């Protein structure tokens, strides 16, 4: 704390922190609370003002948790994705409306900020395929052929385009072989046996992720193992998201009736 320093050093250093309190005064009648500080400054800016923030924590009891900092960072990344689109482009108002829809769902508790960001990222990339703002079915199929792992994340945007923008789009149907390959039959059987276990073993989650990548995303076991080793697995409300670079692979929660639902859909 400044007061614990040498008086001369304190006098020289205190001027550096005046900016923080001048900017803090812009909050006016808003209480000095973590959410307001993060929205006003951002995590990166607050790091510049380490000493005043420490003073707020020690003398005012205002502590910003790691979770709050992470949420602020995710919100700023979400906004940055929208800001990466040129405002004069025909795609911008479409993506802006989708961004607002995602934020509404997040604020109502239907999805996390991270899930919203994961949905907006492929939407931005997809709209770059056709800058007109009115993508075609062919554009959608072309995009998914190069980014198959984005299928689940993009589905919400495709529905938004259809329902709100009036764009005639449908997610391409998955190819169903008349006679499933033996490997696929074995994988499905392995999944059924895993889901039927009376008690879940310690390695249940790892086995589920591996088999689900093979089954739902048509991967080889070798590629699935490599993805799980090199990628990042995030648990969401409706399942898991496996991320590696710009690719994301959605995996549903392991529920006993899941495979039956997949068959009937």
Q: pLDDT tens across 202-239, in order?
A: 888 999 999 988 888 888 888 889 999 988 888 876 67
Question: Contact, 125 vs 87, CB < 8 A?
Answer: no
What's the whole-model pTM score? 0.57
Rounded to an integer, the average pLDDT of 37-47 is: 75
Question: Contact, 194 vs 211, CB < 8 A?
Answer: yes
SS3 63: coil
pLDDT computed for residue 7 by the predictor: 63
State pLDDT tens for residues 48-68. 777 777 777 777 777 777 778
Residue of 2 and 145 predicted with greater confidence = 145
User: Counting every residue, how long is the chain?
Assistant: 265
pLDDT computed for residue 49 by the predictor: 74
State pLDDT tens for residues 167-208. 888 887 654 444 456 777 888 888 888 888 888 888 889 999
State pLDDT tens for residues 102-118. 999 999 988 889 889 98
State pLDDT tens for residues 118-175. 899 999 999 998 878 889 999 998 888 888 778 888 989 999 999 999 988 888 765 4
How many angstroms separate the Cα of 97 from the Cα of each of 94, 102, 167?
Answer: 5, 9, 14
Residue 118 CB partners (closer than 8 Å, separation 6+): 153, 241, 243, 248
């Amino acid at each position: 704390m400044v007061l614990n320093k040498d008086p001369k050093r304190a006098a020289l250093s205190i001027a550096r922190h005046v900016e923080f309190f001048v900017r803090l005064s812009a909050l006016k009648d808003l209480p000095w609370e973590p959410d307001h500080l993060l929205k006003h400054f951002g995590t990166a800016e607050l790091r510049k003002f380490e000493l005043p923030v420490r003073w707020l924590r020690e003398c005012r009891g205002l502590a910003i948790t790691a979770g709050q900092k992470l949420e602020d960072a995710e919100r700023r990344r979400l906004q940055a994705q929208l800001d990466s689109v040129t405002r004069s482009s025909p795609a911008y108002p479409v993506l802006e409306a989708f961004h607002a829809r995602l934020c509404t769902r997040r604020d109502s508790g239907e999805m996390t900020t991270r899930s919203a960001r994961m949905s907006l990222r492929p939407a931005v990339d997809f709209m770059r395929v056709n800058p007109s703002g009115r993508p075609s079915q062919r554009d959608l199929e072309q995009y998914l052929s190069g980014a198959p792992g984005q299928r689940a994340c993009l589905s919400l945007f495709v529905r938004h385009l259809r329902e709100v923008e009036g764009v005639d789009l449908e997610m391409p149907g998955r190819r169903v072989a008349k006679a499933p390959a033996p490997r696929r039959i074995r994988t499905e059987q392995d999944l059924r046996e895993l889901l039927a276990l009376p008690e879940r073993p310690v390695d249940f989650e790892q086995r589920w992720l591996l088999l689900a990548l093979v089954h739902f995303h048509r991967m080889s076991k070798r590629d699935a193992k490599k993805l799980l080793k090199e990628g990042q697995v995030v648990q969401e409300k409706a399942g898991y998201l496996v991320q590696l670079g710009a690719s994301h692979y959605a995996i549903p929660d392991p529920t006993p009736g899941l495979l039956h639902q997949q068959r009937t859909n």
